[in-house]
Amino acid sequence: MRKLRVVQIGSLDVSIFLVTRKELEALVPTKKDECLYGYSDPLNGKIYLVDEGHITSLEDTYLHEIIHVLMEVSGLRGVFRALAKSESDAETLEESVVRGLAPVLLRTLKNAGFKTPSLRGRK
């Protein structure tokens, strides 16, 4: 596990860690057949990213997990909970929104000239 940086997301200081798949599976209880590429833990100020050597998928996962934290700090997670019938439905709803938004947002930000963050110390 390697600490990449600390990012301020809203009022939270969030530490970003690069981890192996084994390290992530030890940290996060996964469901059978679930394949996680990252995990965000806003309450403890942590984001874990599985580094499997693909910089583009690492960027996607990085933004994906940042958006999950944004859902928490912006109060949108509470909106999903209010709209959903259960905690599980709220998580599914949030996951659908984040999965739809993250890749489009990443391409749009790049096209608009936003700088891509350095991950693993290179671009």
Instruction: State the minimum distance, in angstroms, from the CB of residue 98 to Zn ion.
Output: 5
Instruction: Give the span between the Cα atoms of 36 and 63, in whole angstroms.
Output: 14
Q: What is the per-residue DSSP string for 71-102?
A: HHHHTHHHHHHHHSSSHHHHHHHHHHHHHHHH
CB atoms within 10 A of CB 4: 18
**3-class secondary-structure state, position 67:** helix
By CB under 5 A, which span of 7-15, 77-85, 93-101, 110-118 interacts with Zn ion? 93-101
By CB under 5 A, which span of 7-15, 18-26, 42-50, 94-102 interacts with Zn ion? 94-102
By CB under 5 A, which span of 16-24, 46-54, 70-78, 97-105 interacts with Zn ion? 97-105
**Which residue number, 37 or 119, has a Cβ lying nearer to Zn ion?**
37
Instruction: Give the span between the Cα atoms of 75 and 53, in whole angstroms.
Output: 33
Instruction: State the minimum distance, in angstroms, from the CB of residue 113 to Zn ion.
Output: 26
**Which residue number, 74 or 123, has a Cβ lying nearer to Zn ion?**
74
Q: Are 14 and 47 in contact (CB under 8 A)?
A: yes
Q: Which string of x and - marks every residue 38-77 that binds Zn ion (by CB under 5 A)?
A: ----------------------------------------
**Which residues are at the interface with Zn ion (CB under 5 A)?**
95, 98
